[in-house]
Amino acid sequence: MNFHTAPHTFVSAVHLLVEDLERSFTFYTELLGFTLFDKSDNQIRLTADNLHPILTIEQPKHIKPKVRRTTGLYHFAILLPRRSDLAKSVLHLSNNQWPIASSDHHVSEAIYLSDPDGNGIELYTDRDPALWQWQKEQVHMTVDPLDFESLLSEIHEDTEWSSIPPETVIGHIHLHVSHLDEAERFYRDALGFDVVCRYGAQASFLSTGKYHHHIAINTWAGIGAPTPVRNEVGLKQFTLIYPSENARRQAIYALHQKSFEVIEDNKKVLTVDPSGQTIELDILK
């Protein structure tokens, strides 16, 4: 099942601010396997399929280093189509001595790393949704050790890492927020996501169409964590895709009704969550 196309609402693109554009370009192309989509003086767009940019890296003037314990990016997650793709990425990162962490979430297998600026990244592959366990409207997720021996057995001698597959997409995004309840209300009641898993009072996982999560939110940076200052390394914005103009209009209406900010300018629609995160609302094209 494809949870990253209609009729679902999902994250399609991520826009990061970085301190050194060329350093980040080298990392995202040589270690993660993205390819260049286009480039300007201070911004590079990267792609997996040469048709759709899914990651933008930007070096603004007067960039400020990343500050800990603020709202914003915890990690963005790159969904690989096959288990063997994750295995090849693990081996490639290991061969390049890039540090990783890992976890088996029952619904998926994942590794975690940071880019040169400290922006969090997850690389993962989903297990068959038929194997996911649901109790009413809540999906069972774990934080178990990843079985590297089993994972790496997917690699055959005649296959080697070259780049990420063209079917690669942004699988989800995980955010630090100031207050869990108000962030949950924003993403659930205004933007239309369902809460499908809660991790105590510290984190919530939300999705459409019974995916394990398209968006996650947590207060691990501290309750009441401040919003990053402008031009600080981190997440500038991310893009949500709605399946139709009507679905997007319903979200815009709900945002207005609940007194959240909406900016409509030249067919682009932006909103800002209660923790200061900018989100573009787009439609499937």
pLDDT at 1 exceeding the cut of 80: no
> Structure pTM?
0.97
Element (H, E) at 87: helix 83-95
Residue 159 has pLDDT above 90, yes or no: no
Average pLDDT over residues 68-80: 97
Q: Let me know: does 45 contact 53? Beta carbons within 8 Å.
A: yes
Burial of 201-210, coded b for 16+ CB within 10 Å and e otherwise, reads eebbbbbbbe
What residues have CB less than 8 Å from 166, skipping those under 6 apart? 48, 49, 50
Residue with tokens 């969550």: 273
Query: HEC string of 173-222?
Result: EEEECCCHHHHHHHHHHHCCCEEEEEECCCEEEEECCCCCCCEEEECCCC
At 161, the pLDDT band (50, 70, 90 cuts) reads confident
Question: The dihedral of CA 144, 217, 65, 10: what is its sign?
Answer: positive
The per-residue pLDDT for 158 is 64
For residues 38-59, give the mean pLDDT. 96
**All structural domains of the chain with their residue ranges:** 10-283
Superfamily of domain 10-283: 2,3-Dihydroxybiphenyl 1,2-Dioxygenase, domain 1 (3.10.180.10)
